Each structure stands twice: as C-alpha cells, then as structure tokens.
Amino acid sequence: MPDFLTIIQLVAAVLMVVMILMQSGGAGLGSAFGGGGDAYTTKRGAEKTIFRSTIAFAFVFVIIGVIRLFV
C-alpha cells in the first residue's frame, strides 16, 4: 500500500508542476521594471481549468502526504 501511495503522490507532484508551468505569467518580470498589468482580469476558459487543476493536484498531494504519515 505505501508504494501505491508513493506512486500516486509522485504523479500528482509531476502533474502539479506541469500545470504551474502551463499557467501564463501575466505580471512576470515586466512589472518589476514599471510595466503595466494594473488591470484586474478574471480567469476564463482553459486558464480557469488549468488553475483549478493545479489546486486539485496540490490538494491530492497534501492529502496523500498526510495519509502516508499514518500508514
């Protein structure tokens, strides 16, 4: 059972990293040099799906980590 949980946690971690890298860096380094980006925008479409998927994978990662503490 612990090996199965390790594999699931590893897959969740890799997918979480992929989802984070897929997110657009809207206010990246440009804002450090006085670039725009003052407008608030809402997430729509694929961006919203990727954002929620990232949260879901992070949740799975943490929950499996807690489960592994007690198994």
Q: CA–CA separation, 6 vs 50, rounded Å?
A: 24
Percentage of the chain beyond pLDDT 70 is: 76
Would you kindly state where each structural domain of the chain is located, as residue ranges? 1-21+45-71
User: What is the model's pLDDT at position 33?
Assistant: 60
H/E element, 47 = helix 46-70
Q: What are the distances in angstroms from CA 13 to CA 33, 34, 45, 65?
A: 33, 34, 24, 11
- The Cα 71–Cα 68 span in angstroms is 5
Q: Using CA atoms, how far apart are residues 22 and 29, in angstroms rounded to an integer?
A: 17
What are the pLDDT digits (tens) for 33-63?
Answer: 655 555 666 778 888 899 999 999 999 999 9
Q: Give the model's pLDDT for residue 38.
A: 59
For position 40, what pLDDT does the model report?
Answer: 67
Query: Quick check: 64 and 3 in contact, CB under 8 A?
Result: no
